[in-house]
Amino acid sequence: MDPMARAASEHFHTPQPIVETLTFEDERVNRYVWYPGEDLPWPEILGGWIRRCRVTPIVPFLIWERINDVPEDMRKAVRRDWMDRDHQEAQYEVRPAGIFDAVMGQYHIWGCRELTALKGMRTEEVATLNLDATFCPWPSNEIPKAYSKIEAHIRDACRNLNGNQLLQSVGREMLGSIFASRAYDQKIVDELEAQKEPKYSNPIFRALDRLERRRRDQALNDLAAAQNKVFDKVPEILSAKGAGMDPAITELLKGQQQQIDLLTRMLADRKVSKPQLRRRRRLQTETVDAKHLPRTDQPDQT
């Protein structure tokens, strides 16, 4: 390899193994996170992503920076800057605790959770557990969109672990992540659909897929169509029963018919564009103003 290219490759975030005996509370112990929503970007994690439904390790790595930017007590090694020989670089360790705190600060509200049962374990030990194969065996491009399907598989896997406490703890924490992610998706969808004119975006469509939930306007359309099918039969019922129809049932049917009429009007209003709404309001204003004009069919009183 060209010496310049080799130096460049060493300069950037090339993870280097750190083998050392660490206590459980040490900032350098490995951490593991899991998220069932979608891939989340994070540059300080190997591969640059927290992959959906995949156990993602957060491990320490070494990086070179200008020596003046690295505190003296944090320097692991020193070398000449390959781009500027008059300056030096220092190597320092980026610790999992800081990366983990930053990840949780941004993605915890989304439902990303730490697999605390794995905290401090070496990546080689975690790899031998085959957690992805146990709890989410699908290829990455075939993982089900719906939370319910992933949850059902994890619950089934937990029932077949033969009392393995470590794996059961991991499974429970994955289920907790699913619950939190589902709650967050429901919150953002509910907030959008509470607006008078919701604008659906791709993140909202993906959340609806994960929740197996239909858009509100489509659900109202389905409700209106289903109730209309029922009320198409109302005239036949009334004519068949005649005067013998129970007044309470008659009132109930009328009330439900009013409900479907209201839903239909709501849907019609939601489909009206803003220019149409402005035109409708202008016409209504003109109609109101016209009521106050003198009638042309009355003789002049002057």
Say how many domains are in the chain.
2
User: Is 74 contained in some domain?
Assistant: no
Q: Which domain holds residue 137?
A: 3-60+95-193
One domain, residues 176 and 46: yes
One-letter identity of residue 243: A
One domain, residues 158 and 240: no
Q: How much is the CA Rg of the chain, to the nearest whole Å?
A: 32
User: Is 87 contained in some domain?
Assistant: no
The whole-number pLDDT of residue 291 equals 46
CB atoms within 10 A of CB 121: 19
User: Is 198 contained in some domain?
Assistant: no
One domain, residues 181 and 244: no
Is the full-model pTM beyond 0.85? no
pLDDT band for position 97 (cuts 50, 70, 90): very high
The whole-number pLDDT of residue 18 equals 46
Q: How far apart are CA 62 and CA 42, in angstroms?
A: 17
Q: How far apart are CA 147 and CA 209, in angstroms?
A: 9
**Residue 191 has which token pair?**
């907030």
User: Is 27 contained in some domain?
Assistant: yes
pLDDT at 219 over 90: no
User: Is 177 contained in some domain?
Assistant: yes
pLDDT band for position 9 (cuts 50, 70, 90): very low
DSSP conformation letters of 78-119: EEE-SS-TTSEEEEEEEPHHHHHHHHHHHHGGGT-EE-GGGT
**Residue 210 has which token pair?**
């994960």
DSSP conformation letters of the chain: --HHHHHHHHHS-----------TT-TTS-EEEE-SSS-EE-TTSGGGEE-TTS-EEE--EEEEEEGGGS-GGG-SEEEE-SS-TTSEEEEEEEPHHHHHHHHHHHHGGGT-EE-GGGTT--HHHHHHTTHHHHH--S-GGG--S-HHHHHHHHHHHHTTSTT-HHHHHHHHHHHHHHHHHHHHHHHHHHHHHTSSS----HHHHHHHHHHT---HHHHHHHHHHHHHHHHTTHHHHHHHHGGGS-HHHHHHHHHHHHHHHHHHHHHHHHTS-HHHHHHHHHHHHHHHHHTTSPPTTSPP--
One domain, residues 103 and 247: no
User: Is 80 contained in some domain?
Assistant: no
113 and 171 in contact (C-beta within 8 Å)? no
Any bridge partners for residue 26, and if so which? none
N- to C-terminal Cα separation, the chain: 107
One domain, residues 164 and 39: yes
One domain, residues 132 and 187: yes
One domain, residues 155 and 229: no
One domain, residues 188 and 139: yes
One domain, residues 25 and 165: yes
User: Is 86 contained in some domain?
Assistant: no
pLDDT at 232 over 80: no
**φ, ψ for residue 50 (rounded to 5)?**
-95, 105
Q: Could you report the per-residue pLDDT of 158-173, keeping only the tens digit for each? A: 999 988 999 999 999 9
Mean pLDDT of 187-215: 88
One domain, residues 241 and 272: yes
User: Is 265 contained in some domain?
Assistant: yes
Cα 197 to Cα 62, 74, 156, 188, 279, distances in angstroms: 50, 54, 41, 15, 18
87 and 67 in contact (C-beta within 8 Å)? yes
Lowest mean per-residue pLDDT among 16-25, 52-61, 64-73, 183-192: 16-25
**Residue 70 has which token pair?**
């690295």
**Residue 294 has which token pair?**
């003198």
Q: Could you report the per-residue pLDDT of 40-68, keeping only the tens digit for each? A: 999 999 899 999 999 999 999 888 888 88
Q: How far apart are CA 277 and CA 289, in angstroms?
A: 18
One domain, residues 32 and 126: yes
Mean pLDDT of 270-287: 53
pLDDT at 13 over 90: no
One domain, residues 101 and 17: yes
Q: How far apart are CA 33 and CA 131, in angstroms?
A: 12
pLDDT at 140 over 60: yes
Lowest mean per-residue pLDDT among 1-10, 200-209, 231-240, 253-262: 1-10
